[in-house]
Amino acid sequence: MPSIVIKSSAFQSVGIVLADQQVAEEASGLVSVSVRYVTTPSKRDAVAKLFYPGARPPIFPSAVNKEELQARNLFLVDRSIKQSNGLVEIDAKYAGALSRALTQPTITFGREIVNVRLKVRDGMYYHENSINQDAQPGQSDAYSETLYAYYSIRASVGVKTYSSCIVGTNEYNIPAPQLDELILGAQFKTISQTPLNSLTTVDESRDMTPKQLLIAYSRPEITSDSSYNIVTPNVRIEQRRFFVTLNSNF
């Protein structure tokens, strides 16, 4: 085996040969490659310098298509060295990212339950007493009063997460989801009105569904945050979450 290594063309050019390779791809676009290189003890120290965090493979593995990768390369994650029987084996792990991850991130969807209380103008209550023996000339006890409807709503809201493997300064641009995508469902817990037992001349909110009321009156806000898993100095997996905040107004 040592004589085979020494006589190979790869050894003559870079001092090592590629003996084994395995490739795995994740939904995020992360490409993980395990490679075994072989060299001789006399070349060990010089070859070992080729393996440092973020380094490119000295011999690119044929099991990976460069054209499908961001930056058309792989980057070292870690290595281990074993010497026996006159050979030095270097097991190296590399990471890269598929180009499609920039336009086709992985999407996961979670949900949370929130309770929201809303106070909504529900109309006007008009009162006029035509018989008032105590009224002074020019006085009247007629009045109007604003009516409010009070809603307690239980809502199911979504948390939408995009995951994508990124190389270097690449970015993926994802538009924020619409409110309708993140308010998954809603139902009334309680409904009340004030003044109680009053006759209303206008009924402004009673025909609205719980979801419509939340969109119209809870001041909904879509916000986002990001987190990163650093695979190598060059490769990271970015997660971007979008979620909606619903606010009670009383």
pLDDT digits (tens, 9 = 90+) for 208-245: 899 999 999 999 999 999 999 999 999 999 999 999 99
pLDDT digits (tens, 9 = 90+) for 42-81: 889 999 999 999 999 999 999 999 999 999 999 999 999 9
Residue with more model confidence, 7 or 150: 150
Q: Indicate if the pLDDT at residue 167 is higher than 80.
A: yes
Q: Which domains does the chain have, with CATH numbers?
A: 2-102 (3.30.70), 106-130+141-245 (no CATH)
pLDDT digits (tens, 9 = 90+) for 91-131: 999 999 999 999 999 999 999 999 999 988 776 655 555 55
- pLDDT for residue 2: 54
- pLDDT for residue 191: 85
Given pLDDT bands bounded at 50, 70 and 90, which one contains residue 196? Answer: low
- pLDDT for residue 121: 79
Residue with more model confidence, 115 or 8: 115
Distance (Å, whole) CA 183 – CA 220: 10
Given pLDDT bands bounded at 50, 70 and 90, which one contains residue 86? Answer: confident
**Which residues on adjacent β-strands are paired with residue 243?**
159, 223
- pLDDT for residue 200: 45
Burial 121-148 (b: 16+ CB within 10 A, else e): ebbebeeeeeeeeeeeeeeeeeeeeebb
- pLDDT for residue 201: 41
Top mean pLDDT of 131-140, 145-154, 186-195, 218-227 is at 218-227
Query: Is 128:120 a contact under the CB 8 Å cutoff?
Result: no
- pLDDT for residue 79: 96
Q: What is the mean pLDDT of residues 18-38?
A: 96
The residue ranges of DSSP E strands in the chain, in sequence order, are 17-25, 30-39, 75-84, 87-97, 106-127, 143-167, 183-194, 221-230, 235-245
Query: Is 235:30 a contact under the CB 8 Å cutoff?
Result: yes
